[in-house]
Amino acid sequence: MSLRLRLKYKMNSIRHFTSSFYLPSWMTGTAMRVMLSLVVVVLGAAYVMETNTLATSGYEIHSLEQRISFLHSELQRLHTTVAEAQSMASIQKRLPEIQMVAVTDIIYLKLNNEVAVAK
């Protein structure tokens, strides 16, 4: 059998199936069409509302990620400032301002086999 005849036979078979297929009247009536239309409208509205909610959540997440990035850079800046303030050069520079004096002679005391430092 040629391909053309097989295709023609299959198409006739499909046509026969669809023409012999019977649906009850309650499935093809006006009430069913109205109900299906309402279902489509309700599901469409729910889809739009859910999409809007997800878009809003995405915007909030993006805003929080930007805030986190800003806070990380601020933390790095503060770490740098703390390291500069703790450097020996910075401490030596601030000594006159805070009126501290350098220790000239240190006396070591020994108490119960522990070494303590005192002036």
Rounded to the nearest 5°, which phi and psi values hold at 55?
Answer: -65, -40
Domain ranges of the chain: 31-118
Strands 114-118 and 107-111, sheet pairing: antiparallel
Predicted local distance difference test score (pLDDT) of residue 115: 59
Closest CA to 85 of 100, 72, 77: 77
pLDDT in tens, 70-97: 999 999 999 999 998 888 888 888 877 8
Angle between helices 30-86 and 88-98 (to 10 degrees): 70
CA gap 118, 103 in Å, rounded = 11
Residues linked to residue 108 through DSSP beta bridges, in sequence order:
117
**Which is more confidently placed, 119 or 18?**
18
**What is the identity of the amino acid at 25?**
S
The angle formed by the CA atoms of residues 70, 75 and 81, to the nearest 5 degrees, is 130
pLDDT digits (tens, 9 = 90+) for 2-47: 898 999 999 999 988 888 877 788 888 899 999 999 999 999 999 9
pLDDT at 106 over 60: yes
Q: What is the pLDDT of residue 45?
A: 98
